[in-house]
Amino acid sequence: MSRTRSVALWGAVFALLVALAVPWFLWRDAQVVAGLPLWLWWHIAWMGLASVAFAAFARTGWNRVMGVERV
């Protein structure tokens, strides 16, 4: 994959992660699942997804985006 395409792809991934980090659609929703509000479960799952995305970025895209050569 070309550097420009890689940078655009990772940029889109992180933009999506930031855009959906706050569950606007769950505001004023009082539904409780397993003793915790649904919006809190959203945050727990979203942080897990963000961790997986960052781990993939650190393994595959870091050098392309930062312009660093792999050693």
Express as a percent the part of the chain with pLDDT over 70. Answer: 83
The answer to whether residues 20 and 46 touch, using CB atoms and an 8 Å cutoff, is yes
pLDDT tens digits, 14-45: 999 999 888 888 778 788 889 888 888 998 99
SS3 readout for the chain: CCHHHHHHHHHHHHHHHHHCCCCHHHCCCCCEECCEEHHHHHHHHHHHHHHHHHHHHHHHHHHHHHCCCCC
pTM attached to this predicted model: 0.72
Express as a percent the part of the chain with pLDDT over 90. Answer: 24
The answer to whether residues 53 and 17 touch, using CB atoms and an 8 Å cutoff, is yes
| pLDDT classification of 65: cutoffs 50, 70, 90 | low
